[in-house]
Each structure stands twice: as C-alpha cells, then as structure tokens.
Structure 1
Amino acid sequence: MLDKPSAPPPAAPAAPPAPPQAPPQPGYGHPQQPGPYNTPGAPGPYGTPTAGPYGAPAAPGPYGAPTAPGPYGHPQQPQQPGPYAQQPQPGYGYPQQPPYPGAPGTAPGAPFPGQGGGAGRKKTALIVGAAVAALALIGGTVYAVTSGGDGDKKPVAGHGSTGPAASGDPSPSSSTSGGEDPENLNEGRAPGEAKVLWYKPAPDAPGGGADAPGMWIAGNTVVKAAYKQVFAYDADNGGSPWGPVDLPQKICSVTPQKSADDKVVVAYMSGPGDNAKCNRLQQLDLRTGKKGWSGQVADGGLFDSALNIELSVSGGTLMVGRSESGTAYAIDSGKKLYDKKRYGDSCFPTAFAGGSGRLVQVASCGAGTGTEHDEIQELDPATGKVKWTQPVKKGWQASRVYSMDPLVVYLTNESKKTWNISTFTKDGRFRSEVKVDEKFAPTCGWAILARDLQGCRGVAADADTLYLPTSTTASANEIVAISLADGKAKWRAKSPADEPMSPMRTEGGKLIAYVQPSYDAGGQVVSIPTTGASHTTTKLLQNPRGTAQIEDTFYDGVVDWSDGRFVISAGRLNGSDQAKEKLIMAFGN
C-alpha cells in the first residue's frame, strides 16, 4: 500500500497547505514553535522588533545593570562586562534584538526539511516520471505533541540486573548486504546526482504516534532509536550489523551525545499506562548492540518527578535530569557518582546540558518571590563540583544551549516578549551578546515538561563564531556568521538554491550546511569557508530529484553528514495505519 499523507490530529497545530499554496510559516519547513505563549503560526511572533535585553536602558540584559546610553552612543569609559559589573549597552542607534520568538526556530511534528509539508508546497507537483518512486514512500505529515542517597556507590544496576529486562544481546543479522533497491529509488538518476544508498521503513507505531529520538554514527554504523527498538545499519549499504534491540516499553528519551567509546543510554517508560514514568534506563554499545547496565531512576521528592527526564553525556558521566534535581552516573558502569539537589536561596536544578567535556546546569531560584531568577552553573562532570555560577537577571530564563564549547545560551523574557543570545568565557564571565537585527530559525523541539536545553538543531559554532540560519517564508535564506567577541555579523552566505539552508557542523575550517530540497531538485550538502574574504558555497553532494519529495517529508527529521554520506531520519512516528512510515534514508556518491 502506498504511504499517503495523513490528516493531522484535532489538537495539533495546523497542517501544511497543499501545493501550490504558500507555506504558512517562515522558518525551516515546520510550523513555528509555539513555546509558552500559545502563538503557533505567528511569524515572529510579535511583529516589529523590540529593544533587546541589552539594548535600551529601559530593557537591561540579564547579566548586569544598564548604562546609558552605552558604548555605541556617547563615548564612555570601558566597563567590565559580566554578572557583577555594569553592563555596557549598544546605544540608541544600534540595531536591537528582534522580537521574542517563542522557543527559537521551528518545532517538531512537521517534516524536516521542507516548508510546511512537502517539496511541492509552493510550486507544481513533481512531474510523473520523477515522482513514481517518491509516491511509493511518502509519509504522512501530521503534527502532534506528546504528551538515591549521596553516599550510594553501588551501580544503578549490575550487568546481571534483575531490573526491567528486554531481549538478549543481538546477534549479527543475516541481512548484511542491505544494498537492494526494491523501490527503484535510483531510477532516472541524472548525471551529477548522488544516489540513494539505502532506505528503511519505520516499525509499526501506535495510533497516537511514538518517539524516534536520536541518531548516532559510530564508525561505519548508523544507529537509530524508534518506538520500542534500536536499529543499526551499515552506512554504505543499509545492512544490519546487529539488532534490532528490543525494549519492554516505548522509548522516551536518549542521550543526544555518545561517549568517547561509543556508548549511549536509552530511557523507556515504566509501563504502558497513562501513569507510567520515563524512568527506566538501558545502556547500549553502538558498535556491537550489546546491552550494558540497566536501572530505574527514582523520584527526587514530592514535586521532583521522573515523569519526564532528560539525559546528557559529558566525558564518562551520564547526567539524568528530573524536574528539580539531577543524578550523575558513570556511563560505563552505571555507578552513581553524585546528586545535584536544592541549594542556596531555594535554587533547584531544572535542566542540564553536556558535551565537549563540559556539563552545564540551569537552576531556578526563589520561585514565587521577589528575587526569582535563573542561575547558570558549570559543573565538574566527574565530581559535580561547581566551577562557576552566573546569575541571570529577574524575568529572564535560560531556555536553550546553542553550543557547549564555546558556551552560547539562548534566553527569553516572558513579560517583555524578547530574547537574547549570550556567550560566555571558559570561566563563566559574560563575553558578548548577539547584536544582529534578524529573525533566526534554528530547528528546536517542543519543551513542555522540561526545558530541553539541547533540543535545537540547525545551529553551529566554533571557537570564535556562531552560525545561525535566518528565517524565510518561501525562498533562499542566509547563514549569518556572528562574532563571539562582539556579537556582530562577520559575514553572510546565501543559500545556493531557492530553498532554506541550515548549518550542520564545522570541520576543517569550513561550515557544513544542508540545503533543503525543492519541487524539482533534491537537497544539497554544501561547505562554506569560515575564514578569508569569500564565503560562497561549494556543493559536496546533490541529492536526486526523483526522491526529493521523500527527502522533504521526514517527520521531525534529523540530519547528519559523515564520510561523504548524508543521512536523514524521522524524529517521530505518527502511527499511521495506511502504510509503512519512513524511518531513515542515506545518500552518497
């Protein structure tokens, strides 16, 4: 049966219009993230730009008292930035921060990439000859929202744990070749176009949908979690080096990072019912598919539930974040390392972010009082010791972490409906804030029961520069390179096609970016020099036209680029009974 688009559930954001209507959103192929202000579909969502938190004296930033009018107006003596000194202001003539955009960028529940529902969204459909293969695999594009003690040195659970057990360690699959093309996806491929290396459908999911979080590449193995299973694919041909690994209940969280020795941890629900918690852990070796330790996350207190947890990895430490605390474990053994609990003036850890050997904690302090504020802390991943603390001014919330090293934090102000992007030095001092009058559109997940600090894609950074994609409604956008020294734009690179482009990573002095497919062309992987005078794009991979519509409709898609191969996978399954959903697809020359 053909996998046809499904109608969206009633409670979801509006479904994308059928082509050739224009897309309803600016951004990267998804409806804009509603965030906490209930403004789905709003393009900004507040119209004209307002003064940012570091702009005019009436709207001071979160890290210091304002000075008037600031270094960009009348000359002043240099002042020390940071949380304990007066914060210089851009002055009245400088472009101010754009309006607060809800949670930044776009939300899941729509295909990534694409502009709201398919490659034919603003032009005519693919011609018949190019669409035959695509129509066999097009997925539904629905939108949905899913709903111990300090002295304990024992592992969460041993290797022979009597805790929740799934099936045994996987053995190598007999389907090791994986190179067949039963759907003829490469039929009619034009010269210069990459080929579809392999394609895999998703497992059956319940009608309400299921998460398919995370995608990791370990050597020549691509690993993908979906519903109750973890799958492994040979990067060259899609064969199965191991697995799949079965889990007893639905997967609810994963570590976005892997450890240095290719270990990850997958969390799954405690049961099938509505009262089940996301509190079961299973360690997994990406190279072999073997299960390591497993265990259960305890609730931290009356209001500190493990109903929803966040996982992050830094070095050899796994941090499990609950709503008001966190517990760290050794990722290799499951041994408990330490707890992070209430401290100081009623401060509770509310979110964690890990990576690049760093571990960051965001705490909410003085809730319901006149001194309510957030604090950002860097922790020693091995011990939990606080390296530095950066208080955030009242009214501001640390919502996302765009980069761990250098540390770049996205903050929001609910009452002022404004946002701020701040960067910090290694020792936690305020370094700079973004001073670019632009609407940016990284792709960010829903953050309903937790802040999901590391839930954004489509943003990259190196030691001196932050790379952000601009928003667009139906045309080429730009990637803006922003100096971390002063927050100003260094250069801009325009998408080489009439479609949006977003950063994936930096490597070898180049920014690697993904250009979304159009009605008459597949997506592209391009590189952009990060230094020098020229910042034009160079095409690394041109995906085929014949599968552009498939590529354009992965539900909440996750993308990666490794060793000349481009991989795209679904971030969520919609549970359609009409046909098999898409799970993952790889392209290469």
Structure 2
Amino acid sequence: MSFGPPPSPFTQSTLAAAEGKKRRTALVIGVVLALTAALCAGGWALWGGDGDTTSKPDADRARPADAIRETVETVPRTPEGGTVAEYVDKTLKEGQTASARGTWATEKIVAKGIVNVVKGFRIGDSEKVWQLKFPGPVCAVTRHVSVDGRTAVAFSGERPRKTDPGEGATAPCDRIAVFDIDTGRKLWDEKLPGEAALAMGVNVTMTRGTVVAVSGQSSVAYDMTSGRRLWTDTSVSKCADLGYAGGRGLIALVQCGDSGDPEFRIQKVAPRTGKTLWTYKVAASIKGVHLASSSPPVIAVAAGNLQSTNLIALSDDEGRQRGAIRLEGDRYVHGCDETFSAEVERCTGVVVGKRQLYMATKPREFSPETSRGLVANEIVAFDLATGNTVRKFDARPGRPMFPLRMSGDKVIAYREAATAPSAAVSLDPDSGKESILLLFGEAQRRR
C-alpha cells in the first residue's frame, strides 16, 4: 500500500504519527477509515464501522495469487466508518526517535514496521497477533501487496553500530525478505548482491511474481514465491539504475553520466528476464525524475531545479511520449518531491487510471468565513493521450478533496472536513457523480 494521501492540514499531522521518525514518547498508530483509505493504493479494502469490508473480492480472486492487488470498492451497508486497529508503543522516552517504515493491510490484518520489527494487528480489536523480528532495522519497503497478501522489505542483517562518538548508529541495508501479512510468516530472505548500501541507497518494489531491488550500484530480481534469483546486474558502467516502479508493470529509472549533469532514461523491463523492452530518453535539461506509474507509464520531471515541473505520459507498448501536464508551480498537490530516500516510485498525490490521471489542486487561500480556514479545491482529471483537462470535481467550501487510488474505473478520494464528518467518496469520471462510501470523524465520536 501507499504511505498516505497528499499532504493537507489533516493528513499531514495524522500520517506524521505513523511514518518516518517518531519524536513522541508514545508511538500511536490509529488506523481510522481516513488513514485506511489513504493507505490503500496497493489494493487495500476499505472498512466500515462494523468491521465489514466494502471491497468486491471477485476482482482479485480471478487473478493469480502473485499478481499485485487492486480491489474494487462497493457502497457498504452503513456509511459509518470507525477505527480498525490501534497500537501504542510506550517504550520510547522523551526526545527519542524511532524509524517506522512500512504500513500494509489485508482484510484481516494491519501491519506496521517499527525499527527492526514488523507487527501485525487484527482488524476490529487491535490485538497484536504476530511479530516478525529482523537482526537490524527495516530500511526499505514497497507499498505493493500481492493478491494473496505478500509484501517485501529490505533490512539490515546486523545490529546498528556506532562508528564515531557523537554519531548515530548505522547499519548496512543488505538483505531482502518477503512475508505473509496475514500470518507474519517470513517466506524467504536473501542477501542483496554487490557492496552493501545504506538505507538511502536501496529501493524495493514488486510486480506480478517478481520482487525487484536496487542496492547501490546493483539491481536484482527474485521470484516472489521461492526467493530464487531471476536476474542481476552488478556491472559498473556510465549508466546505473536508480530504482524501479512496480505494480501492473515494471519500469526503471536510469541515470547516465556525471551526477552534476545527469542524463535520465526510462526503461520498460521484462520482470522475469530483466530484458529492456524500450527506452525513453528524458530531455537533457531535466535535473530530476520520479516515477508516478508503471502502467500506464507516467513520470514526473524537474526542469531547471529539483522541483517537479511536468508530468509526462508514455505509451505502454513503445515508450513514446503522449500527453504532458504542466504542474504550474505549487498549484497541484502531486507529492512527487517529498522523499529523501532511494524511493523513486513516489508521487503520492497522482492517481493514474487507464485513460486519465487525477490530481488535486491546493486549497485556496485562507478564508476566516470557512471552517478553520479549510477552503474549496478541485480534483482535476487529465487525458493521458493529450495532457488536456477533461473534468473537474469541485470540493465544497471547508471540505477539500484529495484522490487516493483507482477503484476499477472510478476514483476513491478523501474528503476532509474540520467540523462535519470527513469521508471516503467514489468519483465517477464519466458522469461526474460523487458517491459517499464511508463517513468518519464526527460520526465516529458520536457512537
């Protein structure tokens, strides 16, 4: 699954409690519907207040067990959402920090990585039902989950060590593992090839049947079920893989030349063989690239500085440029630049469907007449073939909306509200209709 919705006055503070570095005495993971919906880009279901899922299982049951999960949501029996799992870690002392990488879920379990442990909590009563411990910290994760509930993490095979007085503890990010989210059982783990890299240099993703990692200058792919190495590239050349985007397909971000004047290429890769199927050369003036989607391929490019300036859609079969979307400064909440790691599969605010791409505009300037200054915005649909705007979903004053993921041909969005209940809604790109899936917040507190 993904790491949450685009930043907003609500989601930024909520997700800060569940990801990255923790600076509070208690680490609290309260997974209410808002957070659950926000983290479902990897194919999670949504849950109602009675613990029932709103997703239609048939869509995934008809697909192979090692395919990447993509659920389709239906309107639940009741729109009232509630907390599905909560965990409080009281071991941290005031001023301490702790790494907390990765959050995943199935219909039964919410799992969370905390330093060198992944813990599984049962949906409904928050009971910890399993714990998977690694020698060293979890250092890289993928948001993707397979149809049968598997995901992958990279971790250190040794405990962190202090190198010099006053410096923080460090450990190489040198191993990769796949585990079952429902049971917490580690299915396999392998040592990453090449020289061990630190967490900032490791990227992990998944596509059907295959787990792919970049570690420093090395790229490697494993069979998802057995852990058998399928292919590897440890050669030193003027071009190096920076990372991969998985999901429906597999594309690589490749950097060539000097880091001060880089040349970037996007390559579609056959997951089982590592063969390059096509290459798209990014313009020489581009200073940075992120991968928004593997299929249809969509990339974010930064022209002139390190902030993304355009989204570019490529054809799936040949890698030719299709439509281009200008990001217009800070108008859109795309989330492509919010990373300080090797993760290139980013763009948390960009939702890509088969024909269209969706982004939210930033809420408009503060208005004292609206609820706590939250004002209206829009979710804009762009045609991938042309880059043109084809539809806008207008949010209400005080209730900005942000797209979370596709659900079949519809878009699931988070509708934020400071005083009224917030909601997970379904948006129909063809009709423009908005349908409420679940309400949470005020409705939950009234129970």
- Tell me if TM exceeds 0.5: yes
Amino acid at match of 2:142: T
Q: Cα distance 1:506–1:415, how it changes in 2: closer, same or farther (>3 A)? A: closer
Q: Does the 8 A contact of 1:342 with 1:349 survive in 2?
A: no
1:400 aligns with 2:267: no
SS of the equivalent of 2:170 reads coil
Amino acid at match of 1:402: A
Q: Does the 8 A contact of 2:80 with 2:444 survive in 1?
A: no
Show the counterpart of 1:285: 180
- Please list, as runs of the form range in 1=range in 2, the aligned pairs for 1:38-187 lying within 5 A after superposition: 110-112=13-15
Amino acid at match of 1:348: A
Q: Of residues 89, 93, 97 in structure 2, which corresponds to 1:209? A: 97
Q: Note the C-alpha offset of 1:430.
A: 0.9
Q: Does the 8 A contact of 2:134 with 2:155 survive in 1?
A: yes
SS of the equivalent of 1:111 reads helix
Q: Note the C-alpha offset of 1:193.
A: 4.7
Give the distance between the partners of 2:198 and 2:130, measured in 1 at CA. Answer: 32
Give the distance between the partners of 2:315 and 2:79, measured in 1 at CA. Answer: 44
Q: Which moved more, 1:194-203 or 1:392-401?
A: 194-203
Q: Note the C-alpha offset of 1:417.
A: 6.3
Q: Does the 8 A contact of 2:82 with 2:444 survive in 1?
A: no
Show the counterpart of 1:194: 81
Q: Note the C-alpha offset of 1:415.
A: 4.5
Q: Note the C-alpha offset of 1:379.
A: 0.6
SS of the equivalent of 2:332 reads coil
Amino acid at match of 2:105: I
Amino acid at match of 1:297: L
Q: Cα distance 1:192–1:317, how it changes in 2: closer, same or farther (>3 A)? A: closer
Deviations 1:234-290 (A, max 9, x none): 3344344x3022233322222221234322222223322233112233321123221
Show the counterpart of 2:333: 441
Amino acid at match of 2:138: I
Identity of aligned residues (%): 25
Deviations 1:387-419 (A, max 9, x none): 001111112145222222211100112449661
**How many residues were matched structurally?**
368
1:218 aligns with 2:111: no
- Structure of larger gyration radius: 1
1:493 aligns with 2:393: yes
Give the distance between the partners of 1:294 and 1:305, measured in 2 at CA. Answer: 18
Amino acid at match of 2:344: L
Give the distance between the partners of 1:400 and 1:415, measured in 2 at CA. Answer: 14
Q: Cα distance 1:208–1:363, how it changes in 2: closer, same or farther (>3 A)? A: farther
RCO higher in structure (CA 8 A, sep ≥6) = 1
Q: Note the C-alpha offset of 1:322.
A: 1.9
Give the distance between the partners of 1:497 and 1:541, measured in 2 at CA. Answer: 20
Q: Does the 8 A contact of 2:152 with 2:205 survive in 1?
A: no
Structure 1's unaligned 5+ residue stretches are 1-25, 31-105, 115-136, 141-177, 180-190, 549-586
Q: Does the 8 A contact of 1:202 with 1:226 survive in 2?
A: no
1:244 aligns with 2:131: yes
1:317 aligns with 2:210: yes
Larger strand fraction of residues: 2
Q: Of residues 343, 359, 363 in structure 1, which corresponds to 2:254? A: 363
Q: Of residues 515, 531, 544 in structure 1, which corresponds to 2:441? A: 544
Q: Does the 8 A contact of 1:306 with 1:323 survive in 2?
A: no
Show the counterpart of 2:424: 525
SS of the equivalent of 1:282 reads strand
1:267 aligns with 2:154: yes
Q: Of residues 344, 347, 350 in structure 2, which corresponds to 1:456? A: 347
Q: Does the 8 A contact of 1:432 with 1:486 survive in 2?
A: yes
- Please list, as runs of the form range in 1=range in 2, the aligned pairs for 1:404-483 lying within 5 A after superposition: 404-415=294-305, 419-426=309-316, 427-435=318-326, 437=328, 439-444=331-336, 446-450=338-342, 452-472=343-363, 474-483=374-383
Give the distance between the partners of 2:358 and 2:106, measured in 1 at CA. Answer: 26
Q: Of residues 362, 371, 380 in structure 1, which corresponds to 2:270? A: 380
Amino acid at match of 1:440: Y
Deviations 1:526-561 (A, max 9, x none): 1111103xx24322211132778xxxxxxxxxxxxx
Calculate the TM-score normalised by the size of structure 2: 0.72
Amino acid at match of 1:250: P
Q: Does the 8 A contact of 1:28 with 1:443 survive in 2?
A: no
- Note the aligned Cα RMSD (angstroms): 3.4
SS of the equivalent of 2:295 reads coil
Give the distance between the partners of 2:292 and 2:147, measured in 1 at CA. Answer: 21
Deviations 1:181-224 (A, max 9, x none): xxxxxxxxxx9753444433246347442232332233433322
